[in-house]
Amino acid sequence: MTHFNRVLIANRGEIAVRIIRACKEMNIETVAVYSTADKDSLHAALADYAICIGTGSPKDSYLNLERIMSTAVTLGVDAIHPGYGFLSENSRFAKMCEECGIIFIGPDSDAILNMGNKSIARELMKSSGVPVIPGSDGLIHDMDQALVVAKEIGFPVIIKASMGGGGKGMRIVNTFEDLSRFIDQAKNEAQNAFGDSSIYIEKYITESRHVEFQILADKHGNTIHLFDRECSIQRNNQKMIEEAPSSYISDVMRKNMGDSAVLAAKAIEYNSAGTVEFLVDNDNNYYFIEMNTRIQVEHPTTEMVTGIDLIKEQIKIARGDKLTINQEDVIIRGHSIECRINAEDPDNHFAPSAGTITDLHLPGGNGIRVDTHLYPGYKIPVYYDSMLCKIICWGNDRAEAIQKMKVALDELVVSGIKTNTSLQKRILSHPDFLAGEFNTNFVNKIIG
């Protein structure tokens, strides 16, 4: 086991604050890196050391591998935690850490590379016996190949970028006539977003649920899952509300999906915290869609129902500890729900809302958790993701968790900017949401 004296957090915002707090609880010194736009950010104030690494643009700061590595080497850190987003799933960055003798708090670079390429991941899962959605065998190289695949699996189909994420490089196609145009659009968008225009095609499941399983795997061959999260409440393929556990799947299905998630992790000799994501159709068939080789935004919902600190477990695994949790030790207690509060205006086509937080009141009480980097007077930079905070509520059952969330959202005050709080309240009060009768198209239907 390696002891960590000092960890650099290669991220910003609420996840950087979350990691810093976990490190402090483990008596580990922290190094924050920040951009000029984040000079007054909470994560920079809370860390033991804070180093400016560039201007506000992500490519000049949080995506600048060389500056981050230079800071890490200069300050003699033992490890780097990438959080989520930015460099968290960058295999080159993980490889640089390995070459510099700095531990990357995540899986090895090969696992990131294999799972980061969605078409490779799909083929790996298929060969390992994990269910995958019908689609192309590998990449689509030309229109003739695309036409053959579309004819074989039937419309609608979905074009996906191999290196995709966040809905980029994705197009739903309903007819042969649209196929060529949408392939060109998806390839161009993928090239601009990821520097890689490669695509593949899958059958598009029109009515589906998005259910994911949290994985923990150590470097000694031990792999467990921490059960499931329901992530079907999305807008433009971006999650808005997450729950643990899913109210949709049965106990038998949960067991089968959990076994498949563990099988997926073992297939790539995974070692870290990670998430295996599935789509579930109306006939209760489930299919692997991707594996996120990092901590997830929605990880607190799992922490609330299992009592397991995922960031601490991730750090322990990285330093070589064996898991002290067996599968039979993991028990779901109650129900948890998370709402992402974003700086955007739902009444104005979700336009970004920048500005200064003039007044702030965060909700509290039994079973209420808020993960955030906000404080009164904080000026929201225009360069980064719009998420301001995550409100997580725990209840004895789903109904109680939802009611607590409604109370928490009523109590929340974020003045000086627009937020999506009103839309979150609308979703939580919708009869279909309350009944658990929704899918990934739910939000688009209610906002028109």
Q: Do 37 and 55 contact (CB within 8 A), yes or no? A: yes
The two beta strands, 238-244 and 335-342, are antiparallel
Q: d(Cα 228, Cα 301) in Å, to the nearest integer?
A: 10
Q: d(Cα 223, Cα 266) in Å, to the nearest integer?
A: 7
Q: d(Cα 27, Cα 230) in Å, to the nearest integer?
A: 34
DSSP 347: G
Cα dihedral sign, 170-175-176-177: negative
Of the candidates 294, 319, 340, 398, the residue annotated as catalytic is 294
> CB burial class (10 A; 0-12, 13-18, 19+) of residue 381?
middle
Q: Do 134 and 153 contact (CB within 8 A), yes or no? A: yes
Would you give the distance in Å from CA 345 to the centre of its chain? 22
Q: Do 367 and 404 contact (CB within 8 A), yes or no? A: yes
Tell me the longest C-alpha to C-alpha distance in the chain. Answer: 61
Cβ-defined contacts of 50-54 (< 8 Å, 24+): 51/75
- In 10 A of CB 333, how many CB atoms? 11
- The region that residue 416 occupies, defined by phi over 0 for left and psi between -120 and 50 for alpha, beta otherwise, is left
Integer angstrom CA distances of residue 264 from 146, 215, 268, 424, 430: 27, 10, 7, 33, 35
- In 10 A of CB 197, how many CB atoms? 18
Task: Mark whether 294 is an active-site residue.
Answer: yes
Beta strands in 165-222 (DSSP E): 171-173, 199-203, 208-217
User: Which residues are catalytic, by number?
Assistant: 294
